[in-house]
Amino acid sequence: MAKSRFQYDLPDHPVEYGVEVDIDSLKVDEDAQRGLNLKRAKSIADGLITDALGSIVVSERADGDRYVVDGMHRTEACRIRGLRTIKAEIHYGLNQQQEATLFLIKNREAAKVSTLDEYRVGLTAGDALCVSVDRVLKNHGLGLGSSSTNSVGAVSAVLRITRQYGPEILDRTLNVVEAAWGRDKESWDGVILGGVAMFLGRHGSSVDDDELGKKMLKRGLAARWRSEALTRASNGGYNNSGTGSRESQCYQMVIESWNKGRTAANRVG
């Protein structure tokens, strides 16, 4: 079983099972769970078998409002089909942050939750990894989840870098690639970020970030870096063409760029 990306913890609280709840009374807090995919809800509605619905998970807050924590698409499917009630497992006394944690607990073994959804909800839950990543990205004026000038699409890479090397290395990695190629969606490529982070994680104490960025630029633009890393990894055979291998090749390219023109005594690697 794969190890979960995040740590989950909930206080003891009352839970009631098999409660029939009014669908129209239920609310959704999208900061505490994924966004609604209406197409998916309609697909569920088309093949809905009410006896196989199971129970959704609901949080009843202190003010009496009830929020769907897990089962939003089943709930919407029932609404589409005109059903008035659905069975629920009701949790009492949780706040928004704890609801987000409960969502992650209920979905941590489910492939249906994307890394971005888990990150976003983990941020609401106050997960230390997510909070660290968010802080670093905001300091750079960057978002997470789509590839653009001001947003990093490589969600898994950013989380992995922070988990393995810490937020300081993520911060320096973003500094280096921006020093090399500016703010461009190609700059935030996951393979490049991973390779630079690996280099900084191993040799960062003897490296100036701005100088490293300039040396990397001399080798070529970001698109060329990615292409060369892929080619070098593929030349090692089919089994060496995965993300880890491409990042390792990018790491070697960073070493080569940094060492170029240096005496043997001042080289790394």
Q: Kindly report which listed range (103-117, 139-153, 189-203, 230-244) carries the lowest average pLDDT score.
A: 230-244
Exposed, middle or buried: residue 155 (CB in 10 Å: 0-12, 13-18, 19+)?
buried
Asked if 181 and 191 touch (Cβ cutoff 8 Å), the reply is no
Q: Kindly report which listed range (18-27, 54-63, 212-221, 227-236) carries the lowest average pLDDT score.
A: 227-236
For residue 168, the model assigns a pLDDT of 97
For residue 110, the model assigns a pLDDT of 56
Region 35-44 average pLDDT = 88
Region 143-163 average pLDDT = 93
Give the number of other Cβ atoms within 10 Å of residue 221's Cβ.
15
The residue ranges of every structural domain in the chain are: 15-124, 128-266
The pLDDT confidence band at residue 13, using thresholds 50, 70 and 90, is very high
- H or E, element range at 191: helix 190-203
Higher pLDDT, 113 or 49: 49
- Cα 261 from Cα 211, distance rounded (Å): 13
For residue 238, the model assigns a pLDDT of 45
Is it the case that residue 32 has pLDDT exceeding 70? Answer: yes
Which tokens belong to 108? 């941590």
Is it the case that residue 4 has pLDDT exceeding 80? Answer: no
Is it the case that residue 254 has pLDDT exceeding 90? Answer: yes
The count of C-alpha atoms lying within 13 angstroms of the C-alpha of 113, restricted to the half-sphere facing its C-beta, is: 21
Q: Kindly report which listed range (24-38, 99-113, 215-229) carries the lowest average pLDDT score.
A: 99-113
Q: Domain 15-124, CATH 3.75.10.10 — does that match?
A: no
Asked if 82 and 100 touch (Cβ cutoff 8 Å), the reply is no
For residue 239, the model assigns a pLDDT of 46
Q: Is the pTM of this model over 0.85?
A: no
Average pLDDT, the chain: 89
- Give DSSP secondary structure letters for 233-248: HHTT-GGG-SHHHHHH
